[in-house]
Structures are given as C-alpha cells and as structure tokens.
Amino acid sequence: MRKRGSKTALTMSYPNWFYLPAVITFAIFFIWPTLSAFYYSLTRWTIFDATFIGLENYAQFLSDPMLSIGLKNTFIYGILTSGLKTVLALPLAVLLTSGIRFKGFYRSLVFFPVLVSTIAVGITFSILMQPNEGLFNVLLASVGAPRVDWLGNPRLALFSVIFVDVWKGIGIATVIFMAGILAIPQDYFDAVRLEGGFWIKFRHVIIPLVRNSTFTVILLSFIGGLRTFDLIWAMTGGGPGFASDVLTSIIYKQYQAGFYGLSTAGNVILFLMVTILVFPLRSFFNSREIEV
C-alpha cells in the first residue's frame, strides 16, 4: 500500500522515459531529414550538388505569379473540407449510434471509402465526373438538368475535388464522433429525457459533450486539408491549367521539375503558414478541453 495523493509519488507513475521510443524515432526519421532539408532550402540543389544561395529560393517562390491562386485554393480547401466533415459527420454519428436499423451495415458503408487507396478513389471519381458519359451527368440528364463539366470547368474543379475529399474522409470523422457520443455517460441523457425530444438532446447534451471530438475532427481535417495532395493530384493534377492548384501541388511540381531547393523552400513556407494557423487554434481548443 502506498500513500494516496502524494504528488511526487504520482509523478513517478508517469516516467519521462515513456516519451523516449516515440521521440527518438521521430527525431531520427523525421526531424533530422527535415532539418537537413531546411538547410537545402538555402541552396541551389540539383540532388548531385548544392550551392549556397541564401534566401533566393524564398524570394523566387514568393514572387511566383501563380502562387496567389494556390494560396487561395489551399485556404478554401482546408476550411471547406474541415467544415463540411464536421457538419456532416456529427449528425451521421448520431444516426449511427441511434436505434436505427442496419446500423452495423451503415457503419461499414460510411467507413469503407477510408479503406480504399486515395489514388483509386481519385481515378474512379474522375471517371464518374466525366462530362459526357460520366454517371453524375447521366443522372443529371435523366432528370432533365444540364450537364456539368465537374473537373473540366476551371471554376468548379476545386469544389468537385473537395466533395470527393469529404466523401472519402467522412468515415474517420464519423468514427471519432461516435466514440465521443458513446463515451457520454447515460446519466446525461437520462437527465434530459423527461424534458424533451431529440433536439434538446442533440443541442444540450451531445454537442457540448463531444467537444473534444469536435476539436479533434476540426484540427485533423483542417491540417489534412491544408496539406492535401494525393486526391488533387489524382483527379486534376492542379488543373485545368492552374485552376485547382494548391500549395502542395505547386511545391510538388517544383520538386518534379528538379528544383529541389526551391520546393523545399516552399515546404518551409507551407509549414510556417500551417503553424501560424493551427497552433493558436490548437491552444484555444486545448484550453477549452473537457475532462469527463
């Protein structure tokens, strides 16, 4: 038997060496290569040799006339995907934790897109969204609506990709919300049961008590949205032209072109941008976190 509540004793149960496996792996296989890449962002780097050129890459990256489209698209993508996933996944999670029929089946369905490779999903949807024979337009035509060039219309392409991103990623958001809802102690529901119906329950119990899950979903999908790449690459390649370019696709194209220093500078800029956006958001969320 040990003494209860002694602070030092309790700290002993949380030894610092528990950090080590994660920190060491992360430091060696992530931080070290990333830091050396930061050095290369200050060089003209052809893979075969590197010449130090100071901040020239940064100047070049920021003076790109096409950068503004990419920046705008990145923000739209991050905000819309995280917003839509949050707004759609919460009701879905409520539905899938309710007494509805075929619950297990639906849970599998919603989660299934998460399982398939992004490239495969991208290819499939780009065919479904084809202007002439694509299923989307065949359906539209069958109800007499005009055909839409989902990915070929420069004004629409980005939003079509966002739609697919939400479709593919909503499974994870839903599972996080479901875990949150199921963790709500029954007493809370019992307390409001007498007073009212579903809306009361949703507004006064579920929404406030799944706050931690909401934060996780928003944060993860916002970061994921800002650094999204695979899906855009598979569906539009940033096109038509520059219409759906985001920061990561611009950076990747520079990388492809062999501008390794320049693209690394772009990565550093992306990193700073995400940090500036995400850290305040995260500490705000942390300060409002609830412990059940």
Q: Write out the binding residues for another protein, residues 47-86 only, by CB under 8 A.
A: 47-48, 51, 56, 60, 64-66
CB closer to another protein, 127 vs 200: 127
What pairing do the DSSP bridges indicate for beta strands 50-52 and 43-45?
antiparallel
- The nearest distance, CB 200 to another protein, in angstroms, is 18
Kindly state the DSSP code that residue 36 receives in the 8-state scheme: H
- The nearest distance, CB 126 to another protein, in angstroms, is 7
- Which residues from 183-242 bind another protein, rule CB under 8 A? 183, 185-187, 212-213, 215-216, 219-220, 223, 226-227, 229-230, 237-242
Single-letter code of the amino acid located at 87? V
Q: Is 149 in the site for another protein (CB under 8 A)?
A: yes
Candidates 58, 124, 192, 204; binder of another protein (CB under 8 A) is 124
Q: How far apart are CA 263 and CA 248, in angstroms?
A: 9
Q: How far apart are CA 178 and CA 188, in angstroms?
A: 16
Task: Kindly report the number of other CB atoms within 10 A of residue 179's CB atom.
Answer: 15
Candidates 73, 81, 86, 264; binder of another protein (CB under 8 A) is 264
Q: How far apart are CA 75 and CA 21, in angstroms?
A: 35
Q: What is the DSSP string of 238-286?
A: T-STTTT--HHHHHHHHHHTT-HHHHHHHHHHHHHHHHHHHHHHHHHHH
Q: How far apart are CA 292 and CA 181, in angstroms?
A: 12
DSSP β-bridge partners for residue 44:
51
- Which residues from 23-52 bind another protein, rule CB under 8 A? 23, 25-26, 28-34, 36-37, 40, 44, 46-48, 51
Stretch of 78-86, 191-199, 200-208, 250-258 contacting another protein, by CB under 8 A: 250-258
CB closer to another protein, 59 vs 200: 59
Q: Is 89 in the site for another protein (CB under 8 A)?
A: no
Q: What is the DSSP string of 210-228?
A: THHHHHHHHHHHHHHHHT-
> Residue count at the site for another protein (CB under 8 A)?
134
Stretch of 4-12, 78-86, 197-205 contacting another protein, by CB under 8 A: 4-12
Q: Is 112 in the site for another protein (CB under 8 A)?
A: yes
- The nearest distance, CB 87 to another protein, in angstroms, is 16
